[in-house]
Amino acid sequence: MHPFFVSTSAQGAVLQLEGGASSINMNGAKLQASCATSAKASVKYFNMPQNLTGTSDPTLFDIGEYKAYLVGVPTSCGGFGDLSVPCASREPSYPALFTCVLSGAKGTVEADGLKANATAVKADDGRLLDETVWVTCPLPSLSELNRITGEDTSPQVAMIASVKYAGSELPFTGLTGGDGLVLIGTRPPPSPPVPAPPPPSSPSVHTSCTEAKERGADTDGFYDIKLGGKEYSIYCDMTTSNGPWALTYMQKNDNDGDAGPDFFSNLKKGGEEFPKTLNGPSAVASPIGGSRALRDAMWQASSSKAWRATAFNGAYSTSSKKIDVYSDSNFRTGNPLLCYATGCLSGTKSDCSNSDCSDAKALMSYGPYSPGSSVTLYVFGNQFCNCWEVVSAGASGSCQYRVTGDFINMHCSSSMTYTEHSAFWIRF
């Protein structure tokens, strides 16, 4: 028995039956009435904006949605004997047969398995005024939108929205263009250009101090240098002018108050390595550095020949230097300073005795000299005083300025100053 409601008044009565299968039974007779559908099921409008601003964030579109509002779709599915008629069912188990479709120039994307929803619009007195039926459509991801539009360069692309029921498209009966959707700027910005690979790191092994500097090494220090097929750790002075300079030999000066051994004998010493420390040797008879052959090999490999001699106290540093001179001409093998630096492999002990070098230049200020000044060098090696200046030809023993040993201070002139160590270099 179906429920019914009767409303009466002085003017008349209203019989209201609810439910699509409602009827009146009278003595076995059944009275049933229905309203014919005014139009077949169709889409009246979509509630999405016609212009949708896009984003480069693809996740934003994954949570969006829009609605398709339908007409001619019953708000209940109870009065139909099959599933061919689209309807809005309130039964959770009723088959979900609606599909939302977006079509672009390059394809379509569908969201199926959807149901129609219905809501009633009633008057204040409870009377049913209208019922609205709609399908909620998920908005595809940005990648799907880009796939179906196929536009790589256009700032905006258009699509058409539609709805299907059980595989058949429902006609759109709304305003012209109401089923269109324009996406503005959905394409993500172009990827930034791939950065250029960093320049290759400077090789750890060089053929010279000069090559190391050309590769970007600009600090003083020990570098791995390959010479004659073998690698050596060589101290490179990258900052003193007219270089770079490779340290080849270090000598302790006669500063112990005693003449000590023959100064020139130390020219023939040295080992299989260049100096590995900036501290001078501990004894006059124990210089450190490469053998004469090793020093000569570096000298022969140098493409811009110049030698350098430095007198200093304590460990070698910029501040400990007292004398610093170099020469790039008049390579007289009899000059001991040249032989200490380069080995003078063809010379003998007698070849290296008191030969002056008249073409040296100062690399620092000392005595009356300033950087760039010409200096005439002389070594009183046979007197064990190793004076680095000459005032007259021959071993006069009257050095005017700094000397490198204290024997002359004690035995020649008490006014002479002296330094503890000497370092020798090749421009390399």
Query: How confident is the model over 132-147, as pLDDT tens digits?
Result: 999 999 888 777 877 8
Burial (CB < 10 A; 0-12, 13-18, 19+), residue 286, is exposed
For residue 265, the model assigns a pLDDT of 73
pLDDT (average), residues 69-80 = 87
Among the residue ranges 70-74, 330-334, 379-383, 392-396, the one predicted with the least confidence is 392-396
| List of domains in the chain | 1-33 (no CATH), 40-184 (2.60.40), 227-427 (no CATH)
- Is the predicted pLDDT of residue 3 greater than 60, yes or no? no
Nearest to 333 by CA among 416, 264, 402: 264
Residue 285's CB: how many other CB atoms inside 10 A?
A: 13
> How many other C-beta atoms can be found within 10 angstroms of the C-beta atom of residue 104?
21
CA–CA distances in Å: residue 278 to residues 313, 315, 325, 427: 11, 6, 18, 18
Give the pLDDT mean for 21-40.
Answer: 64
Q: How confident is the model at residue 189 (pLDDT cuts 50, 70, 90)?
A: low
Pick from 88-92, 308-312, 381-385: least confident = 381-385
Q: Per mean pLDDT, which range of 84-88, 193-197, 277-281, 378-382 is the poorest?
A: 378-382
Name which of 98-102, 175-179, 378-382 the model is least confident about. 378-382
Of 7 and 110, the one with more pLDDT: 110
Say how far apart CA 402 and CA 415 lie, in whole Å: 10
Tokens representing 103?
A: 């079509």
Of residues 320 and 25, more confidence is placed in: 320
Q: What is the pLDDT of residue 272?
A: 92
Q: What is the pTM of this model?
A: 0.51
Query: DSSP for 88-123?
Result: ----TTS---EEEEEEETTEEEEEEEE-EEEEEEE-
Question: Which two structure tokens, joined as six digits, stand for 255?
Answer: 């500063």
Mean pLDDT of the chain: 76
pLDDT at 402: 45
Q: What is the DSSP string of 290-349?
A: B-HHHHHHHHHH-SS--EEEEEESSB--TTTEEEEEEESS---TT-HHHHHHH--TT--G
pLDDT of residue 201: 57
Q: Give me the pLDDT at residue 207, please.
A: 92
pLDDT grade, residue 268 (50/70/90)? confident
User: Using CA of residue 118, residue 121, residue 126, residue 128, what is the dihedral sign?
Assistant: negative
Distance between CA atoms of 277 and 93, rounded to whole angstroms? 89
The per-residue pLDDT for 344 is 82
pLDDT at 388: 56
Q: Percent of the chain, pLDDT > 90?
A: 29
Structure tokens belonging to residue 151: 């536009």
What is the spatial distance between Cα 353 and Cα 346, in angstroms, rounded to a whole number? 15
pLDDT of 210 reads 94
- Which residues in 218-228 are b (16+ Cβ under 10 Å) and which e? eebebbebebe
Residue 57 has pLDDT above 80, yes or no: no
Predicted local confidence at residue 4, as pLDDT:
44
Instruction: Output the pLDDT for position 72.
Output: 92
pLDDT of residue 5: 44
16 or 247: which carries more pLDDT confidence?
A: 247
Cα gap 20→43, rounded to integer Å? 22
The pLDDT value given to residue 88: 93
pLDDT-above-70 percentage for the chain:
67
pLDDT, mean of residues 188-193 = 67
